[in-house]
Structures are given as structure tokens and as C-alpha cells.
Amino acid sequence: MIENKNVELNELLKNFSIDRKTYEFQGINQGYINDTYLVLDNQYPLYILQRVNHNVFKDVHGLMGNIANAFQHLQDQNYTPIELLKTEWDNSYFKDEKTGYWRLMTYINNTTAYDNATDTDIAYEAGRVVGKFHQLLAEAPLDNYVDTIPQFHNLPLRENQFEESLLSAKTEKLETAKMAISFAKETLEKLRILDNSKLPLRVCHNDTKLNNILFSKENNKALCLIDLDTIMKGYFYFDFGDAIRTVANTAAEDEQDHGKITFEKPLFEAFIKGLESNGPFLYKEEIDLLSWGAVFMPFIHGLRALTDYLNDNIYYKVSYENQNLDRCLSLFDFTNKALQEVGYMTQVVKKGLTPKV
Ligand code: GN1
Ligand code: MG
């Protein structure tokens, strides 16, 4: 980390109620939205410092309220709590006039995260902890949660944004993305069968890809979910599908070699077993839609990546010009593979999950 940045971040930490020391920082270059740093004291990791992207999250106050509310429920023998460090003024975040909104959280030591599930134990643990998260939040009063990104996983909205991007995109881009555009149009039609009207709204995480789950390095148990910006109301199949697209798929989100993208049945089944290990917490109507959730989530992410590619990368941080298109193509490829497994998934889910009555 360059020296200036260190000084700047140390200045910033003075606003939080923590020991006055000179800390060290390590940038964590994951994620497409926020800036994240590990804060260390004499090489020992203590906190996670994050700048919340105010362009994406317009209501940071509401967002931090959602996280603080959820944290009150997210503690259990089988779920490791994270804490927000307060500022000197007893707030859960600090607003710096120049650099924006910052928050500080406890770092859970000796942990790791995986981009993909390498074995069924990881898939099982992912299912268990996603289920536990929902079980712990099942009784949380929904009114306490604001929609920090309204209609985040709303397909008609994403479809409109896609249609608009088609109108303004450069001709070469439309040409390069031709296949993706036609896959998007076909799949939008297929997904019209999704009907949310019978589903209960829940407090969801809304970004449950596998690398947002912390695992213990010691015994590979899943400890808790991280990256909680999108905690808000939603349907369970959002969190289910977002996990499956990274648990049952062994390739990266921007994998260019589609031969590597597979739908791994043993990993899918292990995830379901992990979910079920929490006991019944899902209603039948929710279980019935899960297999479509595993198609819906990779698709909606692919569609958003495609839209951003056509819009010249105004939303996601990209590390090269066509990264959004590569993400889209990889996500669409997995969507297609999941589509072929809807029948199979429906059977596994029916057999494996006991509905709540
Ligand atoms: C974005 O930056 P990151 O990885 O936390 C996006 C998620 C996607 C993810 C990966 C607010 O999250 O929805 O799953 O990229 N978050 C937002 O595609 O748009
Ligand atoms: Mg996120």
C-alpha cells in the first residue's frame, strides 16, 4: 500500500471508537462495487474497513440500518456474528466530505472464502449457512428493512434497462454481443412463467455467491455471510439461485473457456442437504420455485453484465474493456446448463427439502 494511502486511512480510522494506533492496510481487490481494506495492527488482522459505493447505494443510512438490524438476529451457536464498530459519535458509519461513506467491522480471523465449491463438504456447508441465515432472520420484522436498491432482482426492470441499452449502444458492440442478445431475449420469454405472488417476502442477503460466505480455515465449517449491503426484502429463491450459480458451477463468473462451465449434480445435492440440515424453514410454494431460481439468478446477473457492457461499463468496475461481456457469456452459459437441469433439480429439491407447515 502506498504511503499516502496509509496516512489517509489512518486519519480516517480516528473517527471510529477504536484504539489510537498506527494501523497497516491491505487492499482487498475483490468485488465490483465497494473498496475494501483489511486493517492490521503489527501484522495482526483486526478489522475490515470499507468504503460504500454511494453511486450504487443511494441510501447509505438505510443500508447501514438494515445491516445493524440484521446483526441483532445473526448470532447463533452455528453462526458467527460480525460486529460494526461505532464512530466517536455512536454511528455505525462515518461520512467523510471528500471520500464518502466508510464503515468498520470486526475481522474474523483464520477464515477464507472460495470462488467455487471444490468438494461436496463446501457445498453442504454453504447450504447449511445460507439456510441458517434465513432461519435466524425468519421472524425479523420486514418493516425495519428499507429497499436500498429498489427492485434489485426485479426482472421486468432489468429487462427495461437492457432494452434501453440496446437503443443507445454502439453498433460494433451490438454486433459483438449478438449471440448474448438473442439468448437474453429467448430466456426472458421462458422466465415469464415465474410467479412470485404466492411467495412470502423475507429478509434476504441478495448476494449469496459462494465467495460471500466465510469458512473456517481450521475445519472448513461455514461461519457466516459477508458483504451485507444488499440485505433487504426479497424471495428465498434469490439467495438460493445466487448460491447455486457459484456452488454447482466450478468455473469463474468471467470464465472464457465455456468447456469449464458445468452443472455439478453432486455439489447441488450436497447444498440441498446442507439447507435441510437446519430443519424445515421453507414453505412448499417456495420450494416449488427453487429450481427456477437457479436459472433466474445467473440469468439476471448475466443480463445486468450485458446491459453494462452495452452502456460502456458505467456500473461495474471492470479490469479490462470486455470483462462485462465475458461475465455475461459465462453466466448465460451456466443459465443454459441450469435450464437443462430444471427437471432434475425439481426432483432433488422435492425429495430433499421438508416444507414448513
Ligand atoms: C456485485 O461487488 P460485488 O461482487 O459484491 C453485485 C452483485 C453481483 C456481483 C457479482 C450491488 O457485487 O449483485 O452478484 O457483483 N452487487 C451489486 O456479479 O450490484
Ligand atoms: Mg456484493
Q: pLDDT of 272-313, one tens digit each? A: 999 999 999 999 999 999 999 999 999 999 999 999 999 999
Cβ(293)–Cβ(299) under 8 Å?
no
**Res. 40 pLDDT band, cuts 50 70 90:** very high
What is each CA distance from 213 to 47, 69, 126, 148, 167, in whole angstroms? 17, 19, 7, 21, 38
Do residues 210 and 113 lie in contact, with contact meaning Cβ atoms separated by under 8 Å? Answer: yes
- Average the pLDDT over 79-93 and give the result: 97
pLDDT in the model for residue 301:
98
C-alpha distance from residue 21 to each of 27, 38, 43, 100 (Å) = 19, 15, 13, 23
Question: Which sign, positive or negative, has the C-alpha torsion 14, 18, 22, 23?
Answer: negative
Residue ranges of E strands in the chain: 24-28, 35-41, 44-52, 94-96, 100-106, 111-112, 202-204, 213-216, 222-225, 232-234
Q: Give me the residues paired with residue 224 across strands.
A: 214
Would you say the ipTM is above 0.85?
yes
Give the pLDDT of residue 2. 64
Which residue CA neighbors atom 16 of ligand 1 most closely? 33
- Ligand minimally distant from the alpha carbon of residue 30: 1
Tell me which of 3 and 183 has the higher pLDDT. Answer: 183
Helical axes 342-352 vs 265-276, angle rounded to 10°: 30
- What gap in Å lies between CA 189 and CA 230, rounded to an integer? 27
DSSP character for 252? -
Pick the closest to residue 17 from 93, 105, 85 (CA basis).
85
Share of the chain above pLDDT 90, in %: 96
* Burial of residue 258, with CB atoms counted within 10 A of its CB: 0-12 exposed, 13-18 middle, 19 or more buried: middle
Tell me: pLDDT of 30 over 80: no
- The per-residue pLDDT for 32 is 81
Q: Tell me the domains of the chain and their CATH numbers.
A: 1-109 (3.30.200.20), 113-352 (3.90.1200.10)
pLDDT of residue 4: 85
Nearest CA to ligand 1 atom 15: 32
According to the model, what pLDDT value does residue 85 have? 98
Q: Is the pLDDT score of 135 beyond 90?
A: yes
Arithmetic mean of pLDDT over the chain: 96
Residue 86 Cα, ligand 2 centroid: separation in angstroms?
Answer: 22
Q: Grade residue 1 by pLDDT with cuts at 50, 70 and 90.
A: low
Residue in this structure with the C-alpha cell 450459480, named with its chain if needed: 245
**pLDDT score, position 3:** 73
Q: Tell me, what's the pLDDT at 303?
A: 98
Distance CA 262, CA 254 (A): 14
Query: What average pLDDT does the segment 127-146 reach?
Result: 97
Which residues contact ligand 1 via a Cβ below 6 A? 31-33, 56, 207, 209, 227, 230, 253, 301
Ligand 1 pocket test, pick from 207, 249, 329 with the greatest ligand atom count within 8 Å of Cβ, gives 207
**Residue 247, pLDDT score:** 98
> Strand, helix or coil at 184?
helix
